[in-house]
Structures are given as C-alpha cells and as structure tokens.
C-alpha cells in the first residue's frame, strides 16, 4: 500500500513563527498536494506539485509556500504563522489520472 | 455555485437500514468521480471510484448520472462502523488529477 507520512500529528506554534510541515510518500508518485480542512469549508487546496522542483498554486496559497527538492518529499511552509492558519493540514499523493489520492494522517496545527 | 455540493446531514439511520446520498457537480466536463470516507479527526480514505456504468463493492453501490450531473452512494444493511462523513470528490478538468472535494455528508448509524 502507498504510504504517505506526515512528520507531526499535532503542532502548537506561536504567531509569527516560521512553520515547516513535512510529507513523504514511498510509492514514487509524481503528483503531491497540500490541503487544509476546516469545519464547514471542507478541504481546500493550498499548493500542488507534479514533479520535482515544480509547484503550482491552489485555491488558497496566500501565506504559504512549498518546496519539492526530492520526488518523495513535499514540504509546506508557513512563512509567518497566524491564528487564522490554525487548521488540519493534509498531504496527499496520487499516481495520476483516474486514481484517487492517498492522504497522510494529517497535522493538526494550532497557532497561538 | 460550488463545484461539488452535498447535503451535510446528519443522516441518522438504524442498523440494517439502507441509506443513499447524492452529490451534484457543476462542471459537465468532469472526468472522474470518487467517494471518500472520513472518520472523526482522521484523514479521508478512498471508498470507491464511480464509473459511468455504476459499480458495486459489497454493500456499497455508486452511480453516476452525467445528464443530471450527480453521483450517488447507496449503503445497504448499514453497520455501526459505517458511521462517518462521506465526501463526494470530482476531477473537474480531466487530465492532471486535481480533485475537488465536497464538504461531506455525515452518517450516524445507531443500534
């Protein structure tokens, strides 16, 4: 089975801190995604990547950046954390068309 | 109009009941469709893909109606363990797999 691993299950950070969320997949998938999930809003796409060093903005990229230096690793960076970035962050990968995503177990980030 | 719309529920059903959820999508060119299941405070997990001819996996049946732009999920003989949120998911563009998720329908199965 594809495994998508997110480095932290729970994180608490202070406003203004730079935050790194790491995601690693073990199935050589080219496509990787970062979502956040909030009650009533569902999953919203922050950034995605279809190849090493390639990245594309999703629907809500403001306040975030990403890095994909290796195929298996896709990092989400909060440049200066704010309280409105308190959320569940989900990483996913897929092998391509007509295949669903496999998600990591999520990182619940609280910014205080 | 949202790209994918679902009734948030909750749907409260007794064990053994049959329950159905619908989901509508706005882009008629959408290519692929899925149902995901999400348990409380867990990640979404793929339940099943939805094919044009309809498909079944045990107690679960998925249907696609392109003319009316909706997909459905039917659960027969509901189990307590079916209690979860069911997410309707659509790839509106085809080609590159960038999925759009509905906000989910909550199902509660009671003894």
C-alpha B78/C-alpha A50 separation (Å) is 39
Instruction: Decide if A62 touches B, using CB distance below 8 A.
Output: no
> Mean pLDDT throughout B13-40?
94
Q: Tens of pLDDT along B28-75?
A: 988 889 999 999 989 999 999 998 888 999 999 999 999 999 999 999
Report CB contact under 8 Å: A90, B87.
no
Report CB contact under 8 Å: A100, B89.
yes
Distance from CA of A6 to the nearest CA of B (A): 11
**Residue written as tokens 């009734």?**
B7
C-alpha B93/C-alpha B26 separation (Å) is 11
Cα atoms in the 13 Å half-sphere on the side-chain side of A4: 27
- Parts of chain A with a pLDDT under 70: 1-2, 97-98
* Residues near A84 by beta carbon (within 8 Å), at least 6 away in sequence: none
The DSSP-derived string for A52-78 is TT--EE-S--TTEEEEEEETTEEEEEE
pLDDT interval class at B96 (50, 70, 90): low
């Amino acid at each position: 089975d594809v495994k998508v691993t997110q480095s932290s299950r729970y994180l608490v950070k202070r406003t203004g801190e730079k935050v790194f969320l790491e995601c690693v997949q073990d199935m050589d998938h080219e496509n990787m995604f970062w979502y956040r999930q909030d009650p009533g809003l569902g999953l919203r796409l922050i950034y995605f990547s279809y190849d090493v060093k390639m990245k594309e903005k999703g629907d809500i990229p403001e306040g975030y950046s990403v890095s994909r230096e290796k195929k298996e690793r896709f990092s989400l960076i909060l440049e200066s954390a704010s309280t409105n970035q308190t959320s569940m962050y989900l990483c996913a990968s897929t092998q391509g068309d007509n295949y669903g995503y496999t998600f990591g177990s999520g990182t619940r980030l609280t910014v205080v | 109009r949202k790209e994918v719309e679902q009734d948030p529920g909750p749907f409260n059903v007794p064990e053994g009941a049959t329950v159905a959820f619908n989901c509508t999508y706005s882009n008629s060119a959408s290519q692929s469709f899925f149902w995901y299941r999400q348990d409380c405070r867990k990640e979404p997990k793929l339940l099943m893909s939805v094919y044009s001819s309809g498909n079944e996996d045990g107690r679960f049946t998925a249907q696609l109606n392109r003319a009316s732009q909706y997909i459905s999920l039917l659960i027969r003989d509901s189990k307590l363990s079916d209690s979860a949120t069911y997410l309707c998911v659509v790839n509106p563009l085809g080609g590159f797999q960038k999925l759009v998720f509905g906000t989910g329908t909550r199902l509660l199965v009671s003894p």
